[in-house]
Amino acid sequence: MLIRTHQDGFIHPLSSEITKPEAYATRRQLLRQWSAGAAAAGLAGWTQREAFAQGSASGLQKLAALPASQSNVQGAMTVEKLTSLRDATTYNNFYEFGVDKSDPARNAHTLKTSPWSIEVEGLVKKPTRFNLEDIIKWGAMQERIYRMRCVEGWSMVIPWVGYSMSDLIKRVEPLPNAKYVEFITQVDPQTMPGVKGGYIDWPYTEGLRMDEAMHPLTLLTFGMYGEVLPKQNGAPVRLVVPWKYGFKSGKSLVKIRFVEKQPLISWAKAAPQEYGFYSNVNPSVDHPRWSQATERRIGEGGLLDKKRKTLMFNGYEAQVASLYAGMDLAKNF
Judge whether residue 50 has pLDDT over 90.
Answer: no
Task: Provide the percentage of residues in the chain whose pLDDT is more than 70.
Answer: 82
Q: What is the pTM of this model?
A: 0.84
What does the DSSP assignment read for 13-67? Answer: PPP-PPPPPSS---HHHHHHHHHTHHHHHHHHHHHHHHHHHHT-GGG-----B--
Q: Where are the domains of the chain?
A: 36-324
Q: Report the topology of domain 36-324.
A: Sulfite Oxidase; Chain A, domain 2 (3.90.420)
Task: Provide the percentage of residues in the chain whose pLDDT is more than 90.
Answer: 76
For residues 312-322, average pLDDT:
98
Q: Picking from 44-48, 101-105, 106-110, 189-193, which range would have the lowest pLDDT averaged per residue?
A: 44-48
pLDDT digits (tens, 9 = 90+) for 80-130: 999 999 999 999 999 999 999 999 999 999 999 999 999 999 999 999 999
pLDDT digits (tens, 9 = 90+) for 229-269: 999 999 999 999 999 999 999 999 999 999 999 999 999 99
What is the structure's pLDDT at 59? Answer: 53
